[in-house]
Amino acid sequence: METRSAKRKKLQNNAENEGPIRTTDHSFEDRISDLPDDILHHIFFFLPIKSIAQTSVLSKRWKNIWYSYPDLDFTTVSTLANASVVTSSNTRKRSCSYFTKGSQYIDQILSLLEKHADIRVFRFRAFLSFSRLTSLIRHAVKHNVQELDVEVSTCDYFNFPRSLIYSNTLRTLRLKSWHPGFRLAPLEIMKEGFRALSTLSLSRAILRDQPEIINLFTDSSFPLLKKLHLEACFGLKHLRIECPALEDLCLESCFQLQDLEICVQKLERLRVSSCFDAYSVSSRVKIDAPMLKVMLWSYNAVTEECILLKLTSLREAFVGFFLLHDGLSGAKTRSIYNFLYGISHCHSLTLESQCIEILSTNSRLAGVSLCPFQKLKSLELSTGFNKHNNPGLASLFRSSPTIHTIIIKIIGDHKAERRKWNKDLWQSPSSGEERYWESQTQSLKSFLHHLKIVKIHGFTECANDVSLVKFLLKHGKVLQQVFLCTTLSNSKPRDSRLRDKIKSQIMGFSRASSNANIFFQ
């Protein structure tokens, strides 16, 4: 039988032999079908799976292309939208009724897996039973899947599919259970597999009554693992990370965590957020990562003990702590000091809300004992910014002798003391805020001789804001730009005439640097 391509070439040769007087019509010319399979697969990559499947009805050629397409992403047609309803339901009968709605969808996927060749990527989201889940995964493993991304909700807890553990082709695995969660296989089984895995993400794993899980990610398992993400792992209290090839580690919402030890020589990026048991009296963190470049430590409870070693390669650090209302014990105060000492080699530092308050209310940290950040060039911090926070700010400035840029984000707090700036004070005896900053001039000498850019977001006409700006302008020897950005959501509306007067006064403040420019935004 003559193929379409051969027929087209034959017609083209006849047209050339008949000469140029013959009119050619290219309106039905199909050049896409002549492209190689790998090019067509690349084009498919930018289309939703439903559109790709529809091309199979065009011809036998396109049907074969569809069955050879290696990247099956069913997330655009999943039935997981029902999961939100299921999760909020308290009755098993109502929950299980959703299985029938997605059964046809799952059966269609299973039939497609049988017809497809080797699968490179397989993604799906669904509300289904454990038996159907294991069937889908087993078929994917049978077709040598390399990347598996599963997001499911089930009627009951399910066990980690063991077919994944021994896969020789699996490189990336993401498993997330919206409701109610899943249990890992016993430690001796988990450590036997995953020889080729490079990326692992587990969300909502149930680890109660599995204390041995602390040894899951030691140097004898996951030999090629480069990225690890653990989220909302219930019952996870002790965790040791020693995977030899690990470069990127993320821990999120592990609220029951008490002991975290990270000892990875190749680790470059670390993110830990909303972790640690705030009520534990024996919490501990230890990090030994000499190649660590980026560290995000956000909204974590303060641990009783903190040991940070060899973070000499650190470039960026983002730090925030979660505190209970009863404040800090002596051990937790020392823990914060040790944490800041451990990240003191960073070049860029961002401090979340409460950090300045901690530095200001704890004398050990607010004084000269705070370690110097000799390499720090950029500092960004969030604070309620009242006069009680001035010691914390001064401590940070004093510990940043070579700083270049400072960004201060003032967070609105109706309970905070925010005394209005007296428009007559600039010609009168200085206020308490001004006297405080003037008393810090000598200890901040190096800081003032390096600072070039200042940005204050949420700037108001309050005494703390204006006094700090006045001090920096007066003593900043190389200051170049001062941006004062007003955010109305952070403050009550001001008298526009008063605001204009204060702006005029700020423009008239004395400046140590002739290059210092002030911008109001």
Structural domain ending residue among the three candidates 44, 69, 94: 69
Q: Residue 73 forms beta bridges with which residues?
A: 123
The identity of residue 392, as a single letter, is G
Q: Which of 25, 54, 69 marks a domain boundary?
A: 69
Q: Could you give the percent of the chain with pLDDT greater than 90?
A: 44
Tokens 């899951």 — which residue?
216
In a domain, 453, yes or no: yes
Number of domains in the chain: 2
Length of the chain: 521
Per the model's pLDDT, the better-predicted residue between 457 and 365 turns out to be: 457
The radius of gyration computed from the CA coordinates of the chain, to the nearest angstrom, equals 31
Check if the beta carbon of residue 165 is closer than 8 Å to that of residue 192: yes
Q: Residue 368 above 50 pLDDT?
A: no
63 belongs to a structural domain: yes
Q: What is the spatial distance between Cα 345 and Cα 129, in angstroms, rounded to a whole number? A: 50
What does the pLDDT read at residue 82? 44
Residue 288 covered by a domain: no
Please answer whether residues 163 and 188 qualify as being in contact, where contact means their C-beta atoms are separated by less than 8 angstroms. no
Q: Which of 48-62, 245-259, 327-341, 446-460 has the lowest mean pLDDT?
A: 48-62
Half-sphere exposure of 492 (CA within 13 A, CB side): 7
How many beta carbons lie within 10 A of that of residue 187, not counting itself?
Answer: 16
At 12, give phi and psi (nearest 5°). -65, -40
- Residue 188, domain member (yes or no): no
18-42 average pLDDT score: 64
Tell me how far apart the alpha carbons of residues 361 and 505 are, in angstroms, rounded to a whole number: 32
pLDDT at 512: 93
48 inside domain: yes
For range 457-473, the mean pLDDT: 88
- 304-316 pLDDT, tens digit per residue, is 999 999 799 999 9
| Per-residue pLDDT at 419 | 60
pLDDT tens digit sequence for 400-454:
999 999 999 988 754 555 566 555 544 444 677 888 999 999 999 999 999 999 9
- Predicted confidence (pLDDT) per residue in 72-128, tens digit: 888 877 554 444 433 344 433 434 444 444 456 677 777 777 777 788 999 988 888
Quick check: is 325 in a domain? no
What range does the domain containing 503 cover?
393-521
- Of 20, 44, 69, which one is at a domain's C-terminal end? 69
Q: 481 in a domain, yes or no? A: yes
The answer to whether 58 touches 32, Cβ cutoff 8 Å, is no
Q: How confident is the model at residue 10 (pLDDT cuts 50, 70, 90)?
A: low
The pTM of the full predicted model, rounded to 2 decimals, is 0.83
What amino acid is encoded at 226 in this protein? Answer: K
